[in-house]
Amino acid sequence: MNVTRRQTFMLGAGAVAFATLGSQATIAFASEESDKLIAEFSGGKEATAGKIKLKAPEIAENGNTVPISFTVDSPMTADNHVASVMLLALGNPGPAVGTFNFTPMSGEAAASTRIRLAKTQEVLAMAKMSDGSIFMDKKTVKVTIGGCGG
Amino acid sequence: MFSRRDFLQWAAVTASVTGFSSGLTKAAAQQKLTQDDLLKFDSKGQVTLLHITDVHGQLKPLYFRPPSENFGVGAFEGIPPHLVGEDFLNHFGINKGSPLSYAHTMVDYVNMAKTYGRLGGLDRTATLVKAIRGERGDNKVLMLDGGDTWQGSYTSLKTNGQDMVDCFKLLKPDAMVGHWEFTFGADRVKEIIEQMDYPFLASNIVDNDFEEPVFESTKMFDKGGVRVAVIGQAMPYTPISNPRWMFPEWSFGIRQETLQENVNKARDEGAQVVVLLSHNGFDVDQKLATVVSGIDVILAAHTHDAIPRAITVGKTILLSSGSHGKYLGRIDLDVKGGKVVDFSSSLIPVFSDVIDRDPEMAAKIDEVRAPYEQECQRVIGKSEGLLYRRGNFNGTWDDLICQGLIEERDAEISLSPGFRWGTTLLPGQDITIDDLYTQTSMTYPSVYRLEMSGKQIHDILEDVCDNLFNKDPFYQQGGDMVRVGGMSYTIEPKKEIGYRITNMTSIKSGKPIEATQNYVVAGWASVNEGTTGPAIYDLMEKYITRIGVVPPLENDRIKVVGM
């Protein structure tokens, strides 16, 4: 399934009978925040798929600590390397996870961390290369109530 | 109980009833059904894979009614394994009323069960395995256990899976994988592995600290002059579907990148054939075959799907060998120039009245059951109707459990997990302790009783439903829909999460379930640590004993729309 952020938002808005006004407002705010962070990081440049690979579980075993990692395909030379990678959890009240800066001395552009996910959402990894080009990968991570499988 | 003699006589009677027109072939086939027929196989090549999976603690022959609903969604709608009943028969060209029809579908189930008798029994399976080893030679056969072996019966619960370990040892498996095995706890899993003289494989389990592999991922074999790599894959969502606190240091997941690395490594080390012994579930495996390259065969498990022969996805051969010991899966591979060039496959139904009991295994089964046999056979009630579990939305066994939960725990609504294990009782059969535990045998059996808001109940139903009907199988966990008592609802599987469940109505009040109102809910198999309440098997023993005779159960509380 490829849930876009728009669909995620609609999903939140659609559960009319069960959603509160407060949580809808939070979702709208978080979405604006993500747009702002992406615009700042990319300098308004269009991101393309490829180069960066984000690894995340399809379903989180524990939403409080979800292991994620990324690698970027790059020779990491002085004139062709990864400058930085930004991670966003698009469905969290505060979407910013962190930004990792690299230099040619880093050798490779890769990192892993654990993040908290409030609910099912997309996690986005965006790489800025030394020439200013932008690459992106996203994964939907489902956060479930659990149980009943078998 | 049908003896083989009865079986043949019955077939002869049918022949006279159906006459000599269309019924002749069918009746003749029934008359001739023998162990040798079941073993007939288009043998080829150098390697034979034997696959048994999801036995769920069942050592003895049993009835297991195949499902009436087994819906697939998205790319998997209307294709195997998502075909049931007559659609299944038509797709695979199986005659209605034939042994295969009984083994694979619920069409005319009760009559067919009376005719063909029980399936399974590990002593019968042992006979088949020995015969195939004899035909092919040990040096060509790989015997693989797909997991969900140690859990599911009274004796497996009392012995912490030891009964199954001891019996399976006699089948001489070459490797196994796991799922419910982990519900005996990490320490017990490690303890059993030390006793086993074959590996417990898992490419997709790492420790939570450093994400390092916990188990061996791969085992290499030389069979018939061919180098075969078997890679294991545990149920990816074990820590979500089952209590994570029982094996807190281990993390699972599909981990397709790790799998690809292990496949590549096996090839680099000279594997000419790569077999994935999987507990992913059939749809997950169908997708996996398209995103991981270099797997020749996937032996599928977990979702309990049984299809008469293997299918192919691209160059990958997939066989799903059912459950409860009903079948033995077999694939023969012809390998030339380091590649699989041809194969033949079959799922052999283990007709217990036609297959001889292997004396060694029969004695071992008697031995492991002996301390418990009397208790196992204790009768606690009788069923007037058909009691079964498997199906996407409900089963009569679960309807009975849901009613027991409501009455014994004084609840308005009850929830019972959508497990796919659990056997079938025919109308008029006694209900024994053995039967009860085929439905309830587990290490986290506490029945909780608590208040939930209408919103919480709706959230749970939506959550579980998405585990079943998410269009991307990598987000499916493999069970059936949670069973609900005391409430009716409408379900639209093809919608998105949050929109599938509507019209939730209380049976007691006849009124809609309100999001903000609280309801008393009883349920079992909670994955949360510290859940308190009576064990489900004790509660149900009390309930069944109290009512004595279980009337035929009808469930018209769930309305399925759009399928």
Which sequence spans correspond to the domains of chain A?
Answer: 5-143
pLDDT tier for residue B23 given thresholds of 50, 70 and 90: very low
**How far is it, in rounded angstroms, from Cα B105 to Cα B309?**
15
Q: What is the CA radius of gyration of chain A?
A: 16
Query: Per-residue pLDDT averaged across B262-279, rounded?
Result: 98
Contact (CB<8Å) A18/B459: yes
pLDDT bin (cut points 50, 70, 90) of residue B72 is very high
CB–CB contact A57 B241 (8 Å)? no
Is B493 within 8 Å of B560 (Cβ atoms)? Answer: yes
CA distances from B374 to B162, B163, B370, B432, B440 (A): 19, 16, 8, 10, 19
Q: Which residues pair with B453 in a beta bridge?
A: B518
Q: What is the pLDDT of residue A147?
A: 53
pLDDT of residue A22: 38
Q: With 0-12 CB in 10 A as exposed, 13-18 as middle and 19+ as buried, what is A132? A: exposed
**Confidence category of residue B33, pLDDT binned at 50, 70, 90:** confident
End-to-end CA distance of chain A: 22
Question: CA-to-CA distance for A17 and B464, rounded, in angstroms?
Answer: 19
- Which residue out of A2, A59, A143 would a mutagenesis test of the B interface target, given it has the greatest number of B Cβ atoms within 10 Å? A59
Residue B1 confidence class, pLDDT cut points 50, 70, 90: very low
**Least reliable range by pLDDT among B16-25, B331-340, B354-363, B452-461:** B16-25
Q: Which residues contact B43 (CB under 8 A, 6 or more apart)?
A: B135, B136, B332, B344
Does position A61 have pLDDT exceeding 80, yes or no? yes
Query: Would you say A72 and A109 are in contact if contact means Cβ atoms under 8 Å apart?
Result: yes
Question: What are the pLDDT digits (tens) for B281-294?
Answer: 999 999 999 999 99
Spell out the long-range contacts of B236-239 with Cβ–Cβ below 8 A and sequence spacing 24 or more: B236/A58, B236/B204, B236/B280, B236/B284, B237/A59, B237/A149, B237/B477, B237/B478, B238/B178, B238/B179, B238/B182, B239/A61, B239/A62
Q: Which residues of A touch B458 (CB under 8 A)?
A: 18
Higher pLDDT, B340 or B13: B340
Average pLDDT, chain B: 93
Render pLDDT for A33-57 as a digit per residue (tens, 0 to 9).
Answer: 999 999 999 999 999 999 999 999 9
Q: What are phi and psi of B477, to 5 degrees?
A: -105, -15
pLDDT of res. B186: 98
pLDDT value at residue B139? 96
Closest Cα in chain A to B460: A145
Using one digit for the tens of pLDDT, what is the confidence trace for B311-328? 999 999 999 999 999 999
How far is residue A38's CA from residue A44's CA, in Å, rounded to a whole number? 8
- Which residue would you say has higher pLDDT here, B85 or A22? B85
Distance CA A147, CA B551 (A): 30
Confidence of residue A29 (pLDDT cuts 50, 70, 90): low
Q: Is B461 helix (H, G, I), strand (E, B) or coil?
A: helix
Judge contact between B127 and B350, C-beta under 8 A: no
Contact (Cβ atoms closer than 8 angstroms) between residue B157 and residue B219: no
From B432, B384, B431, select the one nearest B554 (Cα to Cα).
Answer: B384
Cα torsion B261, B263, B266, B270: sign: negative
Q: Residue A31's pLDDT is what? A: 83
Q: Range with the lowest mean pLDDT among B11-25, B71-85, B350-364, B473-487?
A: B11-25
Band the pLDDT of B32: cuts 50, 70, 90. low
Whether the predicted pLDDT of A26 surpasses 80: no
**B291 three-class SS:** helix
- Over residues B405-430, the mean pLDDT reads 97
The residue of chain A nearest to residue B417, with distances taken between CA atoms, is A148
**What 3-state class would DSSP assign to A144?**
coil
- Inform me whether the C-beta atom of residue B502 falls under 8 Å from chain A C-beta atoms: no
| Cβ pair A18:B515 closer than 8 A | yes
* Domains annotated on chain B, with CATH: 1-40+65-118 (no CATH), 47-56+126-352 (3.60.21.10), 377-560 (3.90.780.10)
Q: Name the B residues in 438-477 with CB < 8 Å from any A CB.
A: 455, 458-460, 463-464, 466-467, 470-472, 474-475, 477
Task: Check CB contact of B496 with chain A, cutoff 8 Å.
Answer: yes
CB-count exposure of residue A53 (10 Å: 0-12, 13-18, 19+): middle
d(CA B350, CA B356): 10
Both tokens of residue B411?
């609840």
Has residue A30 got a pLDDT over 90?
no
Predicted ipTM?
0.87
Q: Are B453 and B463 in contact (CB under 8 A)?
A: no
pLDDT for the residue B27:
40
Strand order of the β-sheet with B549-550 is: B430-432, B379-383, B549-550
Q: Is the pLDDT of residue B16 over 50?
A: no
Closest-CA residue of B relative to A53 is B257
Residue B13's φ and ψ, nearest 5 degrees, are -65, -45
Whether pLDDT at B3 is above 60: no
Distance, in Å, from the CA atom of B274 to the CA atom of B292, rounded to the nearest integer, reads 12
- How many Å apart are CA B173 and CA B146, to the nearest integer? 10
Q: Find the residue in A nearest to B54 (Cα).
A: A150
Residue of higher predicted confidence among B160 and B29:
B160
The rounded distance, in Å, linking the Cα atoms of B405 and B522 is: 6
Q: How far apart are CA B531 and CA A146, in angstroms?
A: 14
Residue B374 burial class via C-beta count within 10 angstroms: exposed 0-12, middle 13-18, buried 19 and up: exposed
Which residue type, as a one-letter code, is found at position B535? Answer: A
Per-residue buried b or exposed e for B311-340, using 16+ beta carbons within 10 Å of the residue's own CB: beeeebbbbbbbbbbbbbbbbbbbbeeeeb
Express as a percent the part of chain B with pLDDT over 90.
93
The better pLDDT of the pair B555, B151 is held by B151
User: What's the CATH architecture for A5-143?
Assistant: Sandwich (2.60)
What integer is the mean pLDDT of B18-25?
Answer: 34
> How confident is the model at residue A20, as a pLDDT?
35
Cis ω before B81 (30° cut-off from 0) = yes
Across B371-500, where does the E strand assignment appear? 379-383, 413-416, 430-432, 447-453, 483-485, 487-491
Quote the CA–CA distance of B555 and B398 in Å, as a whole number: 10
The reported pTM is 0.91
Beta-carbon separation of A148 and B478 below 8 A: no
- Give the range among A5-19, A59-73, B41-55, B197-211 with minimum mean pLDDT: A5-19
pLDDT digits (tens, 9 = 90+) for A2-23: 433 333 333 333 333 333 333 4
Mean pLDDT is lowest, of A67-76, B26-35, B450-459, for B26-35
Mutate to test the interface with A, among B477, B528, B536 (most CBs of A within 10 A): B477
Per-residue pLDDT band for B74 (boundaries 50, 70, 90) equals very high
